[in-house]
């Protein structure tokens, strides 16, 4: 559970090592806590509704249901949701679709730690 006053972050990626990398970056932001992790779009939607995070990092290509579907469902549930897509290159159509569905920003994998840090920080302060 996050300490009071901390911003809540949900990390969604099917790769455990990517979730762990993002988690380590978020932990460096003193006013943010990772409150949940999901490895597919269905779990992301369920956890969003349960945990009500301030920010979601979302992969697009995942088993079961993808990130675009999850973004669409989360935005239907909460029009103010802040979702940052972190996904691999070569998916321009999917990226455009994700941004069209309500994602706020897109960061390409492989990512630089400072890109994740500054983007998350900017959206949590907004």
Average pLDDT score over the chain: 93
For the chain, first and last CA: distance in Å? 22
In whole angstroms, give the CA distance from residue 111 to residue 86: 8
Q: Read off the pLDDT of residues 2-28 as tens digits, 9 standing for 90 and up.
A: 556 899 999 999 999 999 999 999 999
Query: What does the pLDDT average to over 34-44?
Result: 97
Q: Angle at Cα 14 formed by Cα 63 and Cα 82, nearest 5°?
A: 105
Query: Above 70 in pLDDT, residue 89?
Result: no
| Percent of the chain topping pLDDT 70 | 94
The fold of 7-125 is Rossmann fold (3.40.50)
Domain boundaries, the chain: 7-125
Range from 43-47, 56-60, 94-98, 100-104 carrying the lowest mean pLDDT: 94-98
Query: Above 80 in pLDDT, residue 30?
Result: yes
In whole angstroms, give the CA distance from residue 43 to residue 35: 14
């Amino acid at each position: 559970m996050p300490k009071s006053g901390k911003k809540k972050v949900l990390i969604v990626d099917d790769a455990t090592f990517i979730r762990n990398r993002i988690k380590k970056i978020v932990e460096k932001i003193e006013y943010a806590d990772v409150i949940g992790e999901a490895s597919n779009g269905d779990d992301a939607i369920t956890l969003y509704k349960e945990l009500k995070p301030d920010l979601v990092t979302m992969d697009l290509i995942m088993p079961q249901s993808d990130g675009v579907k999850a973004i669409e469902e989360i935005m239907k549930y909460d029009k103010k949701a802040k979702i940052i897509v972190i996904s691999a290159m070569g998916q321009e159509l999917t990226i455009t679709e994700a941004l069209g569905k309500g994602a706020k920003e897109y960061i390409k994998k492989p990512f630089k730690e400072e890109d994740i840090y500054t983007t998350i920080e900017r959206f949590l302060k907004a």
